[in-house]
A and B are shown apart, each in its own frame.
Chain A
């Protein structure tokens, strides 16, 4: 095992951990919403203020959560992943 291989293995692990973790987070948010739709309709119909039901608010928040998770991944990739890939590509092949 060269140092190059070690660093690639470490990068692979870090990328996989984040990618699978964020996938799990998105699934939790979305299926949390779907399960509420499926099993607790009255709760989602509750009005927080005139015109705004909890269901509508949570629906908007699911879309916002998708944006936020993508932003987290892109920020990590730009700051850590891309420089590491560049360094590894430049190293011994």
Chain B
């Protein structure tokens, strides 16, 4: 194994401990400022547009993006870029349809918006179902990724690595709430952007600053096919289905939506999306260079000999270009990335359990501040344990696939109800409930019936459902269910409350 991967590396461990020390310091600072539920869930609504832009980027640029996409591009060329592009195009949708309404209509979770003019209890129960399904799949992806990564980078056993991530993340969320989680995201986003920029800079240096020289070298070595679409998305409908899930999934991810409550007003929410999209777009452009750089400078064979999925392409590239020191830095950045994303996911799951289910369904919105905070922290511990158990139970699963599924569930369960409640006057409580439940369940069922589960995991000869991503069926199905149920049984009260919603959407609260 080149460059000491798979054995404990002093430099990587050193960088890693510096990161842990800084983030725990932030947590200690944030813990003293986290006294109310508003602090715990929404950082006291004091985050600036630039900070939230970085935090959005931090929440979004997961290990799947950094390691997974660089690996996909390195091993399959152009096809990996399809993911880079798909992950970005959801952001304009968040900007145009979601960010401002969310900030003006909600309090802590996206269910607040859907419940604004509808009956809270049924809507919140359905929304919590969707949120927990998305968070669970996303957590599995991150935890499995973390276990494998740390095993390779630090030489720790898989289970120890998963437990370590769970415990450190729990410290951030439990004591520091959203304020600590936000700053951990910001530190991580800066480190990741800096690391990826340096790495891409070193690659381009070898090609006289010309990316086309790099791409040309790749096609000279592995054939012109690496610059064209190929085998990865062989079924055209699969490509469209994955595209739909990626585009609308972003606007339904609970941990991303929750970020818009941390800023003081809708204008700040809007500006934070433009910062976020600038950082994320820049990062995905860098993945073009990182992926092809690893293909040419490390070589496909070397990358795949370490990890068949190609996930170690970026760390290996760092080792070739900057030696053990730079490899250590990039490894620590990758670990920080996973820790921060897991923290954000856990917080959004805890908000669904405590704010939506406990405070609003069980206690009908009448819970004292102290109790809200206590339940939120209890839910955090529960989710941290769940994430460790899931991470160990799903050892060996394909990470990128799990993330794609989380996006498909988010796009089918959360996005249609959110958009219809804000833009469509006849929408009703039953319509919202039906849309979210049908969206969640149909996505889960079709995932189970897909070729990836039936053929690749269960080793059956055929799959009853032909697409590996269900978005093409489940997103329209969720929209149509919501519309049909609303039209079948109109609700005058919800209809009459629409102008009030419009006023609040644009003018904000008092």
Contacts and interface: CB of A to CB of B under 8 A. Distances in A.
B239 interface: yes
A55 B227 contact: yes
A50 B216 contact: yes
A83 to B, nearest CB: 11
Most buried by A among B86, B229, B277: B229
B198 to A, nearest CB: 21
A23 B250 CA distance: 14
> Chain A, interface size: which category?
35 or more
Contact of A63 (B225, B240, B285): B285
Contact of A26 (B89, B216, B506): B89
B239 A74 contact: no
Nearest to A49: B212
A35 B240 contact: yes
B1 interface: no
Contacts, number: 147
B183 to A, nearest CB: 25
Instruction: Find the residue from B84, B89, B237 having the highest chain A CB count within 10 A.
Output: B89
Interface in B307-347: none
A20 B85 CA distance: 21
A22 B247 contact: no
B96 A22 contact: yes
Given A26-B89, A26-B93, A51 B240 contact: no
A51 B228 contact: no
Chain B CB count within 10 A is highest, among A15, A37, A39, A49, for A37
A86 B264 CA distance: 16
11 contacts: A8-B502, A19-B96, A20-B423, A38-B233, A45-B228, A47-B224, A52-B227, A53-B78, A63-B284, A67-B278, A89-B507
Given A52-B227, A53-B228, 14 more contacts: A18-B96, A27-B247, A33-B85, A34-B239, A37-B229, A41-B230, A44-B228, A49-B212, A52-B215, A62-B85, A63-B88, A66-B89, A74-B270, A74-B271
Interface of A: 8, 11-12, 15-16, 18-20, 22-23, 26-27, 29-31, 33-35, 37-39, 41-42, 44-45, 47, 49-53, 55-56, 59-60, 62-63, 66-67, 69-71, 73-74, 77, 82, 85, 88-89
